[in-house]
């Protein structure tokens, strides 16, 4: 750690030193040591900048061959004086040479002493934006990394070239192109917020700096399970031995609800309901998107797996799964890691298969089964960018949605049940499937 002259008084760090014989004591306005060090460095840098001397005038001594100038404007005056000397020697008057406009570099952004620094902007962003803990950690790490790299500047002094240098710095540290692009997107989002809220007026220096196109993102997204891989996944001994555990239940819930892993593992007793016609369903109250807050019908096959455990939950707030939130990644980190072990045990080595691939598999099966886009999007919690659908129509009722998706899910259930037929206590009689309509 840098040996800077800072100390903590109460809950705030202070900088206390002497510069040019003058005592300097300033509050760093933070109780976090890392931020205090960054602010102390920036403050010392600003206070110890050398004061530039005023430019000297040009010097002309033809007898000794001395011709000196300081800067474009001074050089122009020197050239005018030389032309005047020439006219004296030739005896012909000459018009004075025009003074060329000096070429001046574009000025650096004004150093507004009231402008926010990145850490201060971040706190305002979190104050007004409702984001998940994983997003908080990701944004804070990126902002800290940029702040250290640029020596904690005020946001009004961040330039396009700063963003470029930061991207190159990340790449040199071994970050992938996708990671560099994601961090650049984070910076752009923060500075867009700053401009929208009036904390800065200049154009966003991170705008248009994404390194990955939408087409590339789609190409590099998670893979989709194929039916034979689902059979291998749930049919191997590894999965069969875990039937009835949180992991196996989460996988089956993923297949039959197309829910995100965090939506599944956060379910409480109070989230399980029944429609007036008896169709069991779950209510997703917190999701990645607005469309993700939805009601999802539960196919009888998956309901047969969880009904016994539901009966053991006493309080409305009791969770179906015992997973704990870790590393700001919600409760879905553990089943994701277990799935990687399951894939290895099933000898499935195709890359980019993760828990989210179950969701993509179910959506694909529904599409192949002829389920309409509107039904699929409501079931999976996807936005539909269509005015007619988004504004002029109402969501399907839970029984109507169940009637649309259950026939395809029944085919999936037959495939899954056959794959794990070594565990007869989990078999279900599909002839008892209740018609929700």
pLDDT tens, 52-65?
A: 444 446 565 555 56
Dihedral over Cα of 119, 123, 129, 133: its sign: positive
* Domain extent listing, the chain: 113-221, 227-432
317 to 157, 263, 269, 320, 424: CA distances (angstroms): 48, 15, 6, 9, 32
Section 301-315 average pLDDT: 93
pLDDT tens, 93-115?
A: 445 545 554 544 444 455 566 78
The answer for residues whose C-beta is within 8 angstroms of residue 269's C-beta and 6 or more apart is 310, 313, 314, 315, 316, 317, 318, 319, 320
Least confident of 191-205, 282-296, 406-420: 282-296
pLDDT tens, 183-206?
A: 999 999 999 999 999 999 899 999
Dihedral over Cα of 353, 356, 362, 368: its sign: negative
Q: Is 152 left (phi over 0), alpha (psi -120 to 50) or beta?
A: left
CB count in 10 Å sphere of residue 205: 21
356-368 and 227-235 helices cross at what angle (nearest 10)?
130
Q: Is the per-residue pLDDT at 413 higher than 80?
A: yes
Q: Is 405 in contact with 375 (CB distance < 8 Å)?
A: yes
According to the model, what pLDDT value does residue 26 have?
81
- pTM of the model as a whole: 0.61
- As a whole number of angstroms, the distance between CA 291 and CA 128 comes to 21
- As a whole number of angstroms, the distance between CA 32 and CA 34 comes to 6
Range 113-221 classified under CATH 1.10.150.130? yes
- What integer best gives the mean pLDDT of the chain? 82
Please, which pLDDT band fits residue 151 given cuts at 50, 70 and 90? very high
CATH topology of domain 227-432: hpI Integrase; Chain A (1.10.443)
Alpha helices by DSSP H, listed for 173-299, are 177-196, 214-219, 227-235, 237-240, 246-257, 261-265
- As a whole number of angstroms, the distance between CA 379 and CA 326 comes to 28
Q: Residue with structure tokens 């001046």?
A: 104
What is the full DSSP assignment across 225-257? --HHHHHHHHHSHHHHTTTTSHHHHHHHHHHHH
SS3 content of the chain, % helix, strand, coil (to 5): 50, 10, 40
pLDDT tens, 31-82?
A: 777 777 777 777 776 776 554 444 446 565 555 566 666 667 766 766 766 6
């Amino acid at each position: 750690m840098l040996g800077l002259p800072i100390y903590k008084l109460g809950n705030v760090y202070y900088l206390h030193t002497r510069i040019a014989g003058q005592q300097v004591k300033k509050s760093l306005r933070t109780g976090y040591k890392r931020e205090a060090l960054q602010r102390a460095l920036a403050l010392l840098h600003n206070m110890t900048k050398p004061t530039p001397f005023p430019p000297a005038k040009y010097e002309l001594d033809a007898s000794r061959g001395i011709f000196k100038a300081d800067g474009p404007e001074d050089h122009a005056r020197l050239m005018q004086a030389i032309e005047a000397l020439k006219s004296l020697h030739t005896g012909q008057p000459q018009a004075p040479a025009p003074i060329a406009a000096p070429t001046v570099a574009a000025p650096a952004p004004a150093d507004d002493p009231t402008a926010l620094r990145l850490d201060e902007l971040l706190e305002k962003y979190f104050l007004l934006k409702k984001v998940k803990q994983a997003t908080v950690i990701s944004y804070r790490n990126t902002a800290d990394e940029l702040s250290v790299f640029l020596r904690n500047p005020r946001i009004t002094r961040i330039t396009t070239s700063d963003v470029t240098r930061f991207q190159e710095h990340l790449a040199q540290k071994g970050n992938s192109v996708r990671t560099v692009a994601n961090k650049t997107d984070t910076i752009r989002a923060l500075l867009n917020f700053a401009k929208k809220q009036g904390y800065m007026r200049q154009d966003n220096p991170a705008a248009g700096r994404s390194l990955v196109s939408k087409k590339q993102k789609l190409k590099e997204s998670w893979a989709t399970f194929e039916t034979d891989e689902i059979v291998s996944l749930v049919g191997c001994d590894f999965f069969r031995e875990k039937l009835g555990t949180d992991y196996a239940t989460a996988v089956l819930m993923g297949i039959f609800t197309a829910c995100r892993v965090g939506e599944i593992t956060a379910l409480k007793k109070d989230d399980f309901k029944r429609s007036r016609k008896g169709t069991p369903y779950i209510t997703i109250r917190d999701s990645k998107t607005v469309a993700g807050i939805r009601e999802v019908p539960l196919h009888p096959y998956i309901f047969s797996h969880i009904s016994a455990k539901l009966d053991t939950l006493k309080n409305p707030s009791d969770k179906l799964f015992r997973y704990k939130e870790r590393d700001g990644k919600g409760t879905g980190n553990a089943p994701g890691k277990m799935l990687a072990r399951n894939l290895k045990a099933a000898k499935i080595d195709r890359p980019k298969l993760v828990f989210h691939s179950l969701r993509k598999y179910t959506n694909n099966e529904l599409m192949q089964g002829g389920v309409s886009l509107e039904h699929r999007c409501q079931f999976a919690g996807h936005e539909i960018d269509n005015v007619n659908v988004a504004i002029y129509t109402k969501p399907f009722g839970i029984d109507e949605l169940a009637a649309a998706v259950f026939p395809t899910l029944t085919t999936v259930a037959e495939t899954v049940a056959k794959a794990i037929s070594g565990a007869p206590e989990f078999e279900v009689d599909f002839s008892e499937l209740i018609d929700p309509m």
